[in-house]
Chain A
Amino acid sequence: KQEVTQIPAALSVPEGENLVLNCSFTDSAIYNLQWFRQDPGKGLTSLLLIQSSQREQTSGRLNASLDKSSGRSTLYIAASQPGDSATYLCAVRAAGGNKLVFGAGTILRVKS
């Protein structure tokens, strides 16, 4: 059974800092990995998707990497801003399936 763990559970940083969020998964037979952002009381916004054959994806100040063999992904946020404050969720999709298995999330607070 796939299990996804995110570390840290919560993070508070001053504006302008670069930061890294970590995601690990127990079964390396994945189809892809997706990073989402969730604002309080809202739905999920897809940030980045990495296929199992890829090593990283970039979008603006966000960079996500994937090391499938070791079961790890990181989300790097450069020059953090207060608007980045949200819960960040990592989800993996198993090879041959459609179901996303989510981590518990990292609650990020960027202080101005």
Chain B
Amino acid sequence: SAVISQKPSRDICQRGTSLTIQCQVDSQVTMMFWYRQQPGQSLTLIATANQGSEATYESGFVIDKFPISRPNLTFSTLTVSNMSPEDSSIYLCSVEDRVGVTGTDTQYFGPGTRLTVL
């Protein structure tokens, strides 16, 4: 399995500011994803972080609000821009770990970043 770390683990931010969240994996992975978990709700995919190209965003999420970088196969960042209280959520990075020929395609998740916007 892959070991994933995220920074920061939590933050409290003011309305109108931006926060960049980092995701580091201990091995090279083909796929990296960013999810959001709003209070009391389940996870929703924001985007797939593509190495060397623009991220692929899900419906309802746009690059101007959630710019994503993925400079290599072990690292990605998600920025939450021009924040409002509605952006208060846990943001989770996940990776797909293809194992062997059968390709179990298990997705592993980081510990999350708990963001509170005042």
Chain A interface (Cβ within 8 Å of chain B)? 31-32, 34, 36, 41-46, 49, 51, 89, 91, 93, 98-100, 102-105
Chain A min CB distance to B28 (Å): 17
Query: In terms of DSSP, what is the predominant structure of the interface of chain B?
Result: strand
* CB–CB B48/A98 < 8 A: yes
B45 touches A100 (CB 8 A): yes
Contact B105 A31 (CB under 8 A): yes
Q: With CB as the reference atom, state the residue of chain B lying closest to A104.
A: B42
Are A99 and B58 in contact, with the CB atoms below 8 A? Answer: yes
- B88-118 CB contact bits vs A (8 Å, 1 = yes)? 0000101010000000111111111010000
Partner-A contacts on B (CB < 8 A): 1, 4, 31, 33, 41-45, 48, 58, 92, 94, 96, 104-112, 114
- Tell me the total A-B contact number using a CB cutoff of 8 A: 54
User: How far is A112 from B117 in the complex, measured between Cα atoms in Å?
Assistant: 37
- Chain B residues contacting A102 (CB-CB under 8 Å) are 42-44
B107 to chain A: closest residue by CB = A100
A101-B108 Cα distance, complex, nearest whole Å: 14
